[in-house]
Structures are given as C-alpha cells and as structure tokens.
Structure 1
C-alpha cells in the first residue's frame, strides 16, 4: 500500500465531475487500499478518489457511532455511489472540514438520513442506509465526485482552533 498525496485547492481535479468506475481489476483494488491507508494516516473519516488526484467515482469511509476513539469502526468502500433517498424534511446544520481544504471549517446543512446505492470493491451492488454523522460523511464525499466542496455549501466558513480542526476534518 502507498500513502498518496492529498490534492488541495485550487487543484482542478477537485472541481471536475468524476467518471464512473467500470473496471474493478488490480489497479482499482490498489487504489482502494491506497485510499484507505491515506485516509487513516491523514487522519480522516472519508476520502474521495479526486482527493488523491484520480477523477473516479470512488469513496472510502471509516466511521464508528461510538464517541470512544478505541471503539471499532466500520469501513465502507463504494464505487459509483448515488444518493437515492433523503429525509426531505429532516436537515441538520453541522460543522465540516476537508483534507483538501486545509485550515478551514464551515457550517453545512445536510440531510439527516439518506440511502446510498452503489457497488462494493468487487463490483457487486450495495445499498447503505445512513443517518447522523455517517450520512453527513457520505454526502460530503459524494459531493467531491461532483466537483463540489463543502465551502460551496457552507453558510459560514472560518479558520478553526487546533481542537476544532482535529475534530472536523473529513
């Protein structure tokens, strides 16, 4: 596995719509493993392929519901993710950061509950029901695949304190 450099603004790949995954072969599997390792080392809770310079519809997310940092986390790998259902009347404002937008955080309104369809790392169909922070993470990462950054959606953006920065980076 290789830790890949994380692309930051204003790199153009972050503003491009990513292309669909069609080949789940060796190169794709290497990219998945590299992205998981890169996300963990960063550290972050999610990473989209454009953030490592690859304009592909692939996201990795690792999140645990428990506030305890030692609690087990679940790893999600999803190719060609799309949000197919949202809680229209249930949006929440939350603070987000991004590994590709260093030194800034912002308040972003997101759906509290979503359903995502896509493919797992082997190209098999998967469906995930997510709520709370997991739903927020997936929405943030899927936005990357459309060339959208959290700063585009934020009602307010600011430079966080050190404590805030560690807490809100994707």
Structure 2
C-alpha cells in the first residue's frame, strides 16, 4: 500500500466526471488500498480516486475504526428522502476548510463491491452525507459548489491566504 499525492483545489481534475470501472482485478484492489492509506494519512473519513488524480468511479469510506473501511465501486444514488439535513463538510483536497452543506437525510445507494457484485445500501445522517459528498465528487461536483456564492468566495479567499 502506498500513500499517493492528493490533488489540491483548484486543480481542474476535481471538476471532471470519473469513468465507470469495468475491470475488477488486482489493479483495482491496489488502487483501493492506496486510497485507504492516503485517506488515513490526510486524515479524512472519505476519499475518491479523483482526489489522487485517477478519474475512476471508486470511493473509500471509513467512518469509524470499529466499522473499518468500505469500498464502493461505481456508486449511484437511486433514492433520496425529502427530509434534508445540514452537516459540516470539507475535503482532503482543500484541507482546513469546512462549512455546512445541506443534503438529503437518507439515501439508497447502488454500487459494486471489489468483485464486481452489485450491492445496495441505505444510509442516513453522516453516512448519507458522505455518500452524497463522494458521489458528487465522482460526478465532477466539488463540495464548494453546494455552497452559496458568498460562502464559496469567502472560503476560497481564506484558503488562498493560507496556502501562499
């Protein structure tokens, strides 16, 4: 397992749509393990392949040490609740910056596991927020795009100052 360099905001790759994974092989498992190590080193609780410059539809989440990591290949949100929640979000690609984002409180997800088998998962609260955040990233929607223009501009300005 290797810790890979993280693509930093405002890199254009963070706004590109990731490609569907079609090969479920050792290279995919290596990518997933590298993503896990990179996420832990960041540190973070979720990461996508585009965060390391690989435009593939791969997500790794580790919401707690007790539950361990979970790998989602080609995830797709197929149902959402009408109820909405606000949760503080950030990104490994823009470390130190966070703000509240409104998301669906519950979702249903379809994805493939590391062997290519179709799976379904229902989540609510923080897990639902994480799924939506990471699927957005796979679709080329960086989390800042979910903020008002004013909040987004303030965060970008603050981030730029911190990284001079």
Smaller-chain TM-score bracket? 0.7 to 0.9
Q: Which has the higher contact order (CA 8 A, sep 6+)?
A: 1
Unpaired runs of 5+ residues, structure 1, are: 65-70, 160-170
Question: More helix by proportion, 1 or 2?
Answer: 2
1:72 is matched with 66
Question: More strand by proportion, 1 or 2?
Answer: 1
1:100 is matched with 93
What is the TM-score of this pair, normalised by structure 1?
Answer: 0.85
2:9 & 2:68 partners in 1: Cα distance? 29
Structure 1 residue runs of 4 or more that deviate by more than 6 Å after TM superposition: none
1:14 & 1:55 partners in 2: Cα distance? 9
How much has 1:103 moved relative to structure 2? 3.0
Unpaired runs of 5+ residues, structure 2, are: 156-164
Name which of 80, 88, 91 aligns with 1:86: 80
Q: Is 2:49–2:58's contact at 8 Å kept on the other side of the alignment? A: yes
* Count of residues in correspondence between the two structures: 152
1:35 is matched with 35
RMSD of equivalent CA atoms: 1.4
Partner SS state of residue 37, structure 2: helix
1:44 & 1:9 partners in 2: Cα distance? 16
